[in-house]
Amino acid sequence: MTDDSPYFLTLTVVDWVDVFSRPKYKQIIVDSLNFCIENKGLIVYSWCLMTNHLHLIARAKEGNILSDIIRDFKKFTSREIAAAIQTTEESRKKWMLNRFEFAGRYNKKIKDYKFWQDGNAPKEIITAGFLQQKLDYIHQNPVVAEIVQEPEAYLYSSARDYANIPGLVKVVLV
């Protein structure tokens, strides 16, 4: 990945586990994105957090490396979400932790739990048309999933920012 172009990224929970159906886990993602924006040189143009994956259009500020930022984001959120699952009244606690433990069992880099699937399917955005296609795709995700009728009604998405409604993550509009 070059760091001067924005990329469309998809970060997916192992086994497509629907972790982000609980506000506490969603807030970890929001806070972590904002931390990376403020402290690690992440620029987010668009985002949408669904129940089991996160879409981003992002790049790194000059002097930063996008893949390093995403690696650190995934590592931190993995630990934080696993800890939150362990300390929260969660009906799916045992099942989720077993899935995450099993996913990392044979990977020497994984200490306890593997939360995110490997990779993030980066696609470099090099044309205005491709950028618009990915913006529309990201913002329509909750509409297609029948969570909301209008993209800007979904709290965990930059569609709000693009509709001049303050959002949860500090995005740069394109």
User: Residue 118 is part of a domain; what is its CATH number?
Assistant: 3.30.70.1290
The answer to whether residue 172 is domain-embedded is no
User: At residue 100, does pLDDT exceed 70?
Assistant: yes
The answer to whether residue 1 is domain-embedded is no
The answer to whether residue 168 is domain-embedded is no
What pLDDT score does 3 carry? 57
pTM > 0.75: yes
How far is Cα 126 from Cα 13, in angstroms, rounded to an integer?
Answer: 27
The answer to whether residue 122 is domain-embedded is yes
The answer to whether residue 46 is domain-embedded is yes
The answer to whether residue 103 is domain-embedded is yes
pLDDT class for 111, splitting at 50, 70, 90?
Answer: confident
**With b meaning 16 or more CB within 10 Å and e meaning fewer, what string describes 137-151?**
ebbebbbeeeeeeeb
How many helical (H) and strand (E) elements, i.e. helices and strands, does the chain have? 5, 4
Q: How many domains does one find in the chain?
A: 1
The answer to whether residue 170 is domain-embedded is no
What pLDDT score does 105 carry? 80
φ/ψ bin of 133: left (φ > 0), alpha (ψ from -120 to 50), beta (otherwise): alpha
The H or E element that residue 9 is part of is strand 7-12
Mean local confidence (pLDDT), 76-83: 96
Mean local confidence (pLDDT), 23-31: 98
Mean local confidence (pLDDT), 105-117: 82
Mean local confidence (pLDDT), 124-135: 97
> For the chain, what percent of residues have pLDDT higher than 90?
89
The pair phi, psi for residue 131, each rounded to 5°, is -60, -50
The answer to whether residue 35 is domain-embedded is yes
What pLDDT score does 104 carry? 84
What pLDDT score does 106 carry? 76
Domain limits for position 39: 7-162
